Amino acid sequence: MTGRPCAKPQATKLAACAAFVVLVLLSVCLGAGEFSPRGLFTDPQALELFLVSRLPRTVAAVLTGAALSIAGLIMQALVRNRFVEPSTAGTAQSASLGILIMTLFFPGAALAVKTLAASILALLGTSLFLAMAHRLPPAQPYLVPLFGLVYGGVIGAVVTFVGWQTELLQFIDIWTNGEFSGVVRGRYELLWGTAVVLVVAWRVADRLTLLSLGRDVSIGLGLGYQRTLQLGLVIVSVISALTVTIVGIIPFVGLVVPNLVSRIMGDNLRGTIPWVALSGAALVLSCDILGRVIRYPYEIPVATVMGVVGAFLFLYLMFQRSAHA
């Protein structure tokens, strides 16, 4: 994994921070109900709307975007391939399978219990993907994402088949298509767990950077390779489980954001993790806002908007890579 820092990263950082602040304000103010920031101090109903709906939705979008971006960054370090992320490596699909199993056999289980089951299935699914991906020839980097798409497609097909047999297809479609319209106070708080996981990722960033150099090199530099690998798998699995359980599957975030940031700031994870998180949060917020204004006062799910925007960004990255090859 190599990347050359941009010549003017400071200006880019300031622009990113300013854009993020503007997006947060837009997200808080935008909605079908009438709301004015001035009313927070004079109107009890405006304050209630802010605390129950607008603030939770904005915080959920920020946490989801930041977490998915970091999960993609870590996944790329684990696999040593820039074109993978949890939704293209079977992780998100495995988490969905865990939620489906809990829904079938323990429908009354608490959300935290379903998240735990999703984390375990995501960990197992990602471990299997990683074990098979390491057997692919490193000289052909496009084989890994292609294999990941097939692998995730197979798991997704299993989820769909089981849902069809149990008449849960509509339920599966609603809960796997990522969107924030149902996020209110009392329904998103588990996402704060992703903030804890992000702190852990930043604390072990130097070890993850060494891990991305490969098994032999990292062990030669004194890294506990297996332990760091397992920690990276746990981080990715927990993030995927939390986001799938609360929000649903949102594609491309973990794929395009780390690549775009690495072109500006390089590949030192300790330095790039905060900016990857900020950029991911800004991207998801942008897509959520766009989904709310295209058919206002109706909404388009953020996963749908992100699928279109992410596809264009992915094609941009692919063409740029071909031009520099």
Residue-wise pLDDT for 125-183, tens only, equals 988 988 888 787 766 777 888 888 899 899 989 999 998 888 888 778 777 788 888 88
pLDDT at 279: 93
For tokens 């009313």, the residue is 39
pLDDT at 272: 86
pLDDT at 296: 82
Q: Which of 71, 206, 83, 213 is nearest to 149 (CA)?
A: 83
pLDDT at 209: 83
pLDDT at 167: 85
> What does the domain layout of the chain look like in residue ranges?
9-324
pLDDT at 8: 61
Assigned CATH for 9-324: 1.10.3470.10
d(CA 250, CA 233): 19
**Which stretches of the chain score pLDDT less than 50?**
1-2, 7, 323-325
| 300 to 54, 62, 244: CA distances (angstroms) | 17, 18, 18
Helix axes 91-105, 143-165, angle to 10 degrees: 20
229-233: long-range contacts, CB 8 A cutoff, minimum separation 24: 229/78, 229/130, 231/200, 231/204, 231/207, 232/74, 232/77, 232/78, 232/208, 233/78, 233/123, 233/126, 233/127, 233/130
